[in-house]
Amino acid sequence: MSLQEELQMSKLPAPGVQLMLQLMLTREAVVRVQEHLFEGHGLTIQQYNVLRIVRGGPTKGHPIYEIERRMIYRFANVTRLVDRLEVQGLLKRVADPKDRRVSRVVITPKGRRLMERLDGPVQQLATRITDCCDEAECLAMADRLERLREHCLTVGEDQDSLVAAIS
């Protein structure tokens, strides 16, 4: 379905606006499919993201602030996510021997087993979602999206002046 049809627009906006809308719609479509997969394993997409970060981290674990910094969806309350995953027995907090005020989050064997069970389905989902493109197209699109994201971060650093300039 075209952008114009999906959003029931009488005419298409400028190309830059079209791109922003396509990115937003695509993100939502990908998230919906991922949420369906993770819900089948008792997780939210944000909880999966925390588990992914902690599993890939150092064996001594990450402090909460480091997990938060690495999150894809940064609007989530990481402390609350860790609490829920700890109740499920997937993560645990351990005291930092160098600074007792800091706790580190490590993945439990149960959490590691869950993530290992999800590795195949996550890869299959990624393959299925992107099978409309060949490998070269996927890499080219990933490169362009990275370039756009980096540019957005540069623009975002100066948001106040940007908003003032376009207001």
Mean pLDDT along residues 136-158? 89
**Structural domain boundaries enclosing 102:** 21-121
Q: What is the pLDDT of residue 140?
A: 97
Please, where are the H alpha helices in 8-44?
A: 15-39
Q: How many CB atoms lie within 10 A of CB 70?
A: 17
Question: In this structure, which amino acid lies at residue 55?
Answer: R
Residue 45 lies in a domain: yes
Measured distance between the N- and C-terminal CA atoms of the chain, rounded to whole angstroms: 33
Across residues 86-94, what is the average pLDDT? 96
**Predicted local confidence at residue 31, as pLDDT:** 93
Q: What percent of the chain has pLDDT over 70?
A: 93
Has residue 163 got a pLDDT over 70? no
Count of domains observed in the chain: 1
CB atoms within 10 A of CB 74: 11
CATH number for the domain spanning 37: value is 1.10.10.10
Secondary structure element (H or E) that encloses residue 104, with its range: strand 99-107
- Identify whether 47 is part of a domain: yes
Digit-coded pLDDT (tens) for 98-131: 777 888 999 999 999 999 999 999 999 999 999 9
